[in-house]
């Protein structure tokens, strides 16, 4: 299983619009091979910071998701709302 | 439900020691009220970056965890292995 953590900083006056665009990712992503988790969280202190947590069965499943038609179509729209490059980490569970 | 994301940067030659100290948190934390998730992940690109994901039923449960005897005892030991202040976010799920 792979876990990803993405911190996305968006324009303060366009948070709702960004979230609406992101919602378009949910249904097609849930149908992908290896999907476990695909969720968006909002930071308590900074509402313009959105955190996406993903889980995939394998790294290959994640890589395929990154090449998916829906991500290719929706990601450019999401980028328009961002104030800087998002922070991305792919990681593996070592203690639970 | 509250989710927390902590990015912890540790000394490259003391990753294993840090993880061993962290493991002491698991059992007492799982017994706490409101515990849902308490896991450590290792970044793929930078093994000295450990990411802790926590879920608690309520913010109050998390606050009580922060005041727990075991965290008060173990956190100072973990701090010794860090190369800089950890990055912490508490957030709420808005899309899933």
Residues A20-79 pLDDT 10s: 999 999 999 999 999 999 999 999 999 999 999 999 999 999 999 999 999 999 999 999
Q: Where are the domains of chain B?
A: 2-84
CA distances from A41 to A35, A83, B14, B17, B55 (A): 18, 18, 32, 31, 12
CA angle, B94 then B29 then B50, to 5°: 65
Tens place of pLDDT per residue across chain B (96 aa): 999 999 999 999 999 999 999 999 999 999 999 999 999 999 999 999 999 999 999 999 999 999 999 999 999 999 999 999 999 999 999 999
The residue of chain B nearest to residue A15, with distances taken between CA atoms, is: B94
User: Domain A2-91 is of which CATH architecture?
Assistant: 2-Layer Sandwich (3.30)
Q: Report CB contact under 8 Å: A94, B23.
A: no
Q: Report CB contact under 8 Å: B43, A93.
A: no
The residue of chain A nearest to residue B20, with distances taken between CA atoms, is: A95
Residue B6 has a pLDDT of: 98
Any A CB within 8 A of B66 CB: no
CATH topology assigned to domain B2-84: Alpha-Beta Plaits (3.30.70)
CA distance B4 to B37: 10
End-to-end CA distance of chain A, in Å?
Answer: 13
């Amino acid at each position: 299983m792979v876990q990803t953590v993405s911190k996305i900083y968006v324009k303060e006056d366009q948070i709702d619009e960004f979230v609406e665009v992101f919602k378009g990712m949910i249904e097609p992503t849930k149908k992908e091979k290896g999907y476990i988790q695909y969720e968006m969280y909002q930071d308590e202190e900074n509402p313009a910071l959105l955190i996406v947590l993903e889980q995939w069965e394998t790294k290959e499943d994640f890589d395929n998701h990154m090449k998916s038609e829906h991500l290719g179509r929706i990601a450019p729209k999401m980028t328009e709302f961002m104030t800087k490059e998002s922070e991305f980490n792919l990681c593996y569970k070592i203690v639970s």
